[in-house]
């Protein structure tokens, strides 16, 4: 595990509760977005200001062992907090997908690679297309690759 330190749970009740449920059940519960059947993963990163371990449920967008992390924040004008964590401490994260927890390196993608991953993300979670129309910013997409690749 490349991330060490003190875990600080999210101040958001729904995030904190979902992470706790997901982890305590090894991904058998709390593994979808709300009442939908759309799957999520848990992404672990270092807090950009606190330096503490942070955990965030994100939509599961997986392709050939890699994952897209889409910083949509529902089409808000601002990036989600976890975006700043990845920008401030680029490189290593952990992803829990079900009971499996692996280490990944992560990078923000652009151009054709971003478009390819964006299409995969929209296929996995169609509301991303709507979110893109709600904001003037280009929604960032990160790709997480297993450390052994």
Is residue 144 scored above 90 in pLDDT?
yes
Could you read off the pLDDT of 121-132 as tens digits, one per residue? 999 999 999 999
Stretch 96-111: mean pLDDT, rounded?
95
Is residue 1 scored above 60 in pLDDT?
no
Stretch 85-109: mean pLDDT, rounded?
91
* pTM of the shown model: 0.94
Could you read off the pLDDT of 9-22 as tens digits, one per residue? 999 999 999 999 99
Domains and CATH numbers, the chain: 13-146 (2.30.110.10)
Could you read off the pLDDT of 36-72 as tens digits, one per residue? 899 999 999 999 889 899 999 999 999 999 999 999 9
- CB neighbours (10 Å) of residue 52? 12
- Cα separations in angstroms, 60 against 34, 37, 50, 90, 95: 14, 11, 26, 20, 10
């Amino acid at each position: 595990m490349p991330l060490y330190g003190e875990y600080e749970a999210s101040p958001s009740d729904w995030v904190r509760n979902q992470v706790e449920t997901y982890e305590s059940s090894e991904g058998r519960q709390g593994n979808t977005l709300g009442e939908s059947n759309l799957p999520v993963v848990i992404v672990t990163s270092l807090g950009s200001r606190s330096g503490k371990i942070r955990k965030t449920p994100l939509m599961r967008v997986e392709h050939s062992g890699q994952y897209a992390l889409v910083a949509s924040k529902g089409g808000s004008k601002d990036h989600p907090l976890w975006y700043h964590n990845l920008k401030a401490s680029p490189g290593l994260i952990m992803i829990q997908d079900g009971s499996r927890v692996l280490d990944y390196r992560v990078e923000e993608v652009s151009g054709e690679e971003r478009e390819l991953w964006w299409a995969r993300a929209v296929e996995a979670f169609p509301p991303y297309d709507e979110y893109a129309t709600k904001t003037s910013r280009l929604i960032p997409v990160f790709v997480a690759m297993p450390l052994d690749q």
